[in-house]
Structure 1
Amino acid sequence: MELEKKIATIFQQFQTEHTFKGFKTFNSGHINDTFLILTQEKVSYVLQRINTTVFKKATDVIHNKIKITQHLSKKGIQTIHFIPTKESNYSLIDDDNHLWNLSEFIENSQTYLKVESNDIAYQAGLITAEFLVQTSDYENDLVETLPNFHSIPFRFQEFQEALVSASKTRKQQAQKWIDFALANKKEMMVLEHAINQKEIPLRVTHNDTKISNILFDTNNKAICMIDLDTVMKGCIHFDYGDALRTICNTANEDEPNVYNINFNLDYFKNYTEGFLKNLADNISKQEASYLPISIQVMTFIMALRFLTDYLNNDVYYKTKHPEHNLDRASNQFTLVEKIKEQKPFIENFIKTIYNKP
């Protein structure tokens, strides 16, 4: 009841004409806390509490979300609509220094934790690319809210620091994957090198394109991208690779049995077809050539982050048991191996679909 009273109090400080009735908790996020607000008038909202430990620039997170959604709305693109407070701000800081924002809930919408069909994978590709295309003309005043978010050198620096301070027990438990990370370091630097050499341009990107961050209607048509907390400058490869990391894993992200993990080529093909259908005219042949490696790199980054957090005694991600982050790391590193096995097929398929001089 204490949490319900707090959420009701927060909700009442935003500009709505509706009466709080109750709430439900969304459980899919690793970082923030998100609630579905139910009202007496049967109009629903999404209330989010931003993790200010992770997002040191939480007000800038709100700034970026508002700017991008307003940009999309002006173009007639369906997107999230954020609600200002009664003091005309788009965020609210409570007595515990937590930052909240409120948006309208899009009725008759749904999300997926896992892809359930080729059609969903295709729709996910379409909408991710649509977001990239429709924000490509945005005059970029976005704040870098998570510096070096997808930077391999930065993630390796964090990893090396964690290795120094990690307990002997945790290092022993994770030794196989520590060795794997170090052995693959050079190959995983390819995308970073291309960015530094300006072979890949930077643009507005979502930066967290897992399948649960796409909203679908009841007919499984993609509506829009959601969870825009990480919107900032990046490259299309971040969004492409991260989406396929989640869409094509045949197991849940924290599945401990690595024998259940594989890379679903049917979902890869359908997502890529949708993605390049909307984006092919907006990227160069050189950019397209780095799409295959991006799937490995983005999966590797996620694995390295889980491993680092495990070595740091689980200070970043929410965990359900002591080995949770190690299971996640093992899962993602195994997926990297599975993607490598399919590398020739992946490269040939992308060349076929892109098919531009």
Structure 2
Amino acid sequence: MIMFEALKKLGLFEKTDNVVKFGRGFYNRSYIVEASDGRYLLEAVDGKAVNRPEKAMANYRLIEKHLEKWGQAVSFMAEKLTDEEKNDVIVIEGTYWRGFKMPEGAGLFKKIINNRMIYEIGKAIGRFHRSLKDFPLEELYCPIPECSNIEKELDLLQKTVFKITDENFILYNDAKFVLDRKEDLKLLDHFIENDELPLRVVHNNLRLNNFIFDVNSYRVIAVSCYDAASRGTLLHDLGDALRQLTSTTREDESNLSLVRINIAFFKEFLSGYFSETRDFLTQKEADYIIDAVRLKALESGLRYLNDYFAGNKKYNIFYKEQNIDRARNQFRLVEDIETHYEGMRNTVSFLYNQANAK
């Protein structure tokens, strides 16, 4: 197992007592290593999931250096591990590994525990965006260019629809759900292309395993894993984070009656986020947050559906239909947001105005 090799190279293998995996992300995985002399964070980035991984590592270092000035980088609060040659990133069979010695009381969580935690996550994302608002965008390389290529994904689905067989005809309705909304999926790209939204640094991978917490107060000590960061609109980050972190279920829940947005979590997240961004977030960015959540859920469902049709080659699965369950889960979120759209939009407006009045 290559993780054992990573532990050896970083000097942890002999003193490791236990390893706990957090997250099942496409780009990265996180592990907490419990050792005889404390706890460590181990991050693994799949080099095959990014275009020119050495450029992604360069992005990481640029953002890390910038965040250190604000006291926001992981390296600011945790000691970096190195191998015998003093390399702080090691490559094993195409996977990039880095490690940190965790401070006392720091850790990761596998699920949202309470309102305080989701408030702190929103606040941490806001701090991340605020700390990088003056970052020189021209220095960033786009490590996952296909990530924003929604036209390609739609084209793949449209071609697949004509090849649907009797065996998977039931999936026609899922494909039609997306194609009925295909013009909506182009909205954020349209805004960017027409300079209607500011270009900013976006994280692109705000999964729960990429937040390091004070386990007692639930305060986020640092946001980690900047390898997928690129230029874009903050709405990409907000939409993706909110669809994942405020959903009432895990992404592959197949009982769709359980799937919806947790409005209490939604409000707490935005209250935390706006408290950090009120001095630079534009009115138009705030106005389209609900659309961003709906569109990122729709886009995620589209990608899962395409991956299923392609033979489940991109996303990790534990059973054959898991990508179908994921897609339908996301489509149910879309329906929930469409049903409650006006109420959610009013909530965003109220919280945004409330933050700006302070």
Cα distance in 2 for residues equivalent to 1:90 and 1:199: 40
Q: Does the 8 Å CA contact 2:73/2:223 hold for their aligned counterparts?
A: no
* 3-state SS of paired residue (2:49): coil
Q: Give the match for residue 110 of structure 1.
A: 107
Change over 3 Å in CA distance of 1:169–1:277 after alignment to 2: farther
Task: Give the whole-Å Cα distance in 2 for the aligned partners of 1:162 and 1:49.
Answer: 33
Aligned pair 1:69/2:67, yes or no?
A: no
Cα distance 1:169–1:311, how it changes in 2: closer, same or farther (>3 A)? farther
Structure 1 counterpart of 2:7: 11
Question: SS state of the match for residue 86, structure 1?
Answer: coil
1:82-115 alpha-carbon deviations (Å, 9 max, x no partner): 4344334442233x34433333334422333332
2:272 match: secondary structure: helix
Question: For residues 35 and 196 of structure 1, do their structure 2 counterparts lie closer, same or farther at Cα, with a shift above 3 Å needed?
Answer: same
Superimposed CA distance per residue, residues 45-79 of structure 1 (whole angstroms, 9 cap, x where no aligned partner): 33333222222322222222222122211332352
Aligned to 1:282: 280
Q: 1:206 aligns with which of 203, 220, 224?
A: 203
Please list every run of 5 or more consecutive structure 1 residues that lacks an aligned counterpart in the other structure. none
By how many angstroms is 1:327 displaced? 0.2
1:153-192 pair list within 5 angstroms: 153-160=151-158, 162-163=160-161, 168=165, 171-192=168-189
Q: Indicate if the aligned counterparts of 1:191 and 1:293 stay in contact, CA closer than 8 A.
A: no
Counterpart in the other structure of 1:144: 142
Partner of 1:91: 89
Q: Go from structure 1 to structure 2 and tell me whether the alpha carbon gap of 1:304 and 1:113 turns closer, same or farther (over 3 Å shift).
A: farther
Aligned residue number for residue 318 of structure 2: 320
**Which of 242, 245, 261 pairs up with 1:244?**
242
Alignment of 1:289-308 (within 5 A): 289-308=287-306
Check whether the contact 2:22–2:209 (CA below 8 A) recurs between aligned residues.
no
Counterpart contact for 2:72–2:128, Cα < 8 Å: no
Shift of 1:119: 1.6
Alignment partners' CA distance in 2, 1:120 and 1:30: 21
Structure 1 residues 261 and 345, CA gap change in structure 2 (3 angstroms): same
Q: Which residue pairs with 2:32 in the alignment?
A: 36
Q: Deviations over 1:22-58 (max 9, x none)?
A: 4514142233444333444x13333333222222322
Equivalent-residue separation in structure 1 for 2:74 and 2:17 (angstroms): 25
Asked whether 1:135 is paired with 2:132, we answer yes
Cα distance in 2 between the residues matched to 1:142 and 1:330: 34
Inter-CA distance 86–299: structure 2 relative to 1 (3 Å threshold): same
Equivalent residue for 1:260? Answer: 258
SS in 2 for 1:228: coil
Q: How far 1:12 moved relative to its partner?
A: 4.0
* TM-score (normalised: structure 2): 0.88
- Counterpart contact for 2:198–2:233, Cα < 8 Å: yes
Higher alpha-carbon deviation: 242-251 or 70-79: 70-79
TM-score (normalised: structure 1): 0.88
| Structure 1 residue 247 displacement after superposition | 2.0
Deviates more, 1:341-350 or 1:101-110: 101-110
Distance 1:306 1:226, change over 3 A: same
User: Does residue 48 in structure 1 map to residue 46 in structure 2?
Assistant: no
Counterpart CA distance in 2 for 1:286 and 1:110 is: 36
The C-alpha deviation readout for 1:292-327, integer Å capped at 9, x for no partner, is 211111111111111111111100111111110000
Q: Tell me if the contact between 1:49 and 1:101 (Cα under 8 Å) persists in the aligned partners.
A: yes
* Kept in 2: contact 1:240–1:291 (CA 8 A): yes
Quote the Cα distance in structure 2 between the aligned partners of 1:76 and 1:280.
20
Change (3 A) 1:53 1:311: same
* Whole-angstrom distance in 1 between the partners of 2:181 and 2:190: 15
The offset of 1:184, in angstroms, is: 0.9
Return closer, same or farther for 1:115/1:45 CA change in 2, 3 Å cut-off.
Answer: closer
How far the C-alpha of 1:203 sits from its partner, in A, is 1.1
Q: Output the CA distance in 1 between the equivalents of 2:285 and 2:243.
A: 19
Distance 1:159 1:119, change over 3 A: same
Gaps of 5+ in 2: none
The amino acid that maps onto 1:252 is R
Q: CA RMSD in A?
A: 2.5
CA contact (8 A) 2:133 2:201 kept: yes
Question: Quick one: structure 1 residues 159 and 110, their matched pair in 2 at CA, closer, same or farther if it must change by over 3 Å?
Answer: farther
Q: CA deviation at 1:17?
A: 9.1
Asked whether the equivalents of residues 8 and 20 of structure 1 are also in contact (C-alpha less than 8 Å), the reply is no
Q: Give the deviation of 1:18 after TM superposition.
A: 9.2
Amino acid at match of 2:254: P
Q: Which amino acid aligns with 2:70?
A: K
Residue 58 of structure 1 aligns with which residue?
A: 53
